[in-house]
Structure 1
Amino acid sequence: MTRLPQPDATAAAHSAALVRQISEDIRARGGWIPFSRYMELALYAPGLGYYAAGSTKFGATGDFITAPEMTPLFGHTLARQVAELLPATAGTLYEFGAGTGRLAVDLLTRLEALGQLPEAYVIIDLSADLIDRQRATLAAALPHLIPRIRWLSALPDALDGVVLGNELLDAMPCELVVHDGQSPLQRGVALGPDGFVFEDRVLPDEALKALAASRLPPVPGYVSEISQANTAFIATLGARLRRGALLLIDYGYPRHEYYHPQRHMGTLIGHYRHHTVHDPFYLPGLMDLTCHVDFTAIAEAGLEAGLDLIGYTTQAQFLVNAGLAEELGGINADDAARYLRTASAVQKLTDPTEMGELFKVIGFGRGMPIDWCGFASGDRCHTL
């Protein structure tokens, strides 16, 4: 087993404080909580959760690298699709979970060059720490556009514009379910002699029971995830989107692949200092927790909310359709070092063995044209 980097004393104390809070929550709820509650606290507990505290999360010195941190061309290419859609709306661009603000910088930079700046750029984020970083990043890179940018901590009552979410759905708390060969059980978290332990119970929720029974193959010991938070989020967006487009980019599969009998250990993983960790109880508050996205569930939720399903394809196909090659061609080849760095990043974004195939893009619309450049070829809606 790879030896993981050890936290310093301050970070270890931070994690220990969150362990105490989660333990108290378990005791207060009768000695057991569903895994979704554990994940919610591990990621979002005020002042202590992974996304609510001040550790470096993104980039080379953090725990993982997202596409916007790899190259501006990701945002520049995405901007080409946004520029096509914005004129058909009231002109607001919404970004959920904006990370360091890097994607916002790249989108706004390219949209300005294209003459399609949004009337407003609205960032919706729950992390006060990340909001501070976003403000600093945007103020340093685009001070003249700050009047157009505002931050919200809750979803507006009505949306009219283009809504973006990059690696948003995977960080929403999921339920763990396990099949014992007879019926699905809910996997939760209890307290053992040495810390947190899994404990399985009969599914108390009829809706979750029905989902688990229809999705999990009846293989003894088969473990997977169901994200009711994801579908609830899409339903809420669908209820509030008066007009506009919804574009979501994340890693995941259509349902027949997600719940394939061979994927018997599920997709839940942790990210810590660029290591993949399979123990979700490792250093709570210092490690990211994610599960892959069931894009069939996302498509169903959008359609049930009355949205038009515009397209679904791989990240590689979407970026190529939207003009990634043209963006790369705009890099000065005389600057060999920069060109090689950019080309290497583009290769990671599009290579099927890297991010190109695992990451998918799904688009919904309401009152919008249905021909989007990003889905011009290679659409995979038939696989959902």
Structure 2
Amino acid sequence: MQHPLISLKAASFTDSVIRGMSIEARRHGAVNLAQGMPDFPAPQVLKDAACRAIQDDVNQYAITWGAHELRHAIAEHAAWHLKLDVDPEREITVTCGSTEAMLVALLSIINPGDEVILSQPFYENYWPDCMLAGATPRFVPVRPPDWKFDPDELAAAFNDKTKAIVLCNPTNPTGAVFTREELETIAALCRKWDVIAITDEIYEHILFDGREHVALAALDGMQERSVTVSGMSKTYAVTGWRVGTILAPPEMTRAFRQVHDFVSIGAAAPLQEAGAVAYRLPRSYYDELAAGYQARRDRFCKSLWEVGFEFEAPQGAYYVMAGIGAFAAGDDVAFAGKLVREIGVAVVPGSSFFRDKELGRPYVRFCFCKKDETLDEAARRLRALRVIV
């Protein structure tokens, strides 16, 4: 052929390490603590609503940017949970998962030469999203043990080319949660440099030890320059339903809806009907959700500490970014391979969350969105590390 078969963008990507480790887990019969998908049932009321919608023949295209009832339920949820007044007709886009939401947002706002600030480590999709959108990423480290930004380093990353900053709060992969004070610092930089804040808040209801979820968009002067991404996957244990959400000002929402329409047309119609039920669940549901995950966190972290992994308990989400120094393991990829093949537990190598791979070599990421018996079995298998390593 006269021209290369594969684009330079596509050639720069590798397979998802997270999804690859799930494949390895199946191959070796391992407990899958790599991919963040629950192994316990979704709420029965949601499953009933989805089945009812299918039986009622809600089987054709919904409005491309989201079914009417779902958008109104999302707006009601945003009002009490995020303290945001959102117009469901002009400021909400429903997407095929929060993964599509993030890509749609970047595709819609980025022009050649624009820079996007990312933390390092970052959720593995963010860097490819920037590449697909044509943005130049600028990485700012967050460091253990609390995995937070140094304010001076963050400020130094902003400049006249900065178009957006992408934040995950609560954070995947580290489990850190931004405080209101930390978000105020970021908001001030966004206002100073006229920067859009894109926040991935998919873990918004999974916080521990009484922490409060603060939406960056709810801070003074931020709603008009904020894009709030979330979805149903984590809160309602339906990662396979692929119903995501974008809250944004009308001008950006118009662009998001146009790009989304040409990317995927729309999310599954019957699942959107069930989503309207989900977002209107009583507030007690969310309290019980957080309490249940905190119990899982405490149960599993205790087991990891006993084996010898090094970390501080996560503040939110359902991940542990654990140090592997006690096992004389200098290569996270090799260590993760050993765990899945010989111990029977699948994890994610820490380097997959870093552009500078060497920074991630001392870590692996566990997820604990599992039944107690699953976590206990993983803990039982991991105890063999003291003998084998």
**TM-score normalised to structure 2 length:** 0.32
Larger helix fraction of residues = 2
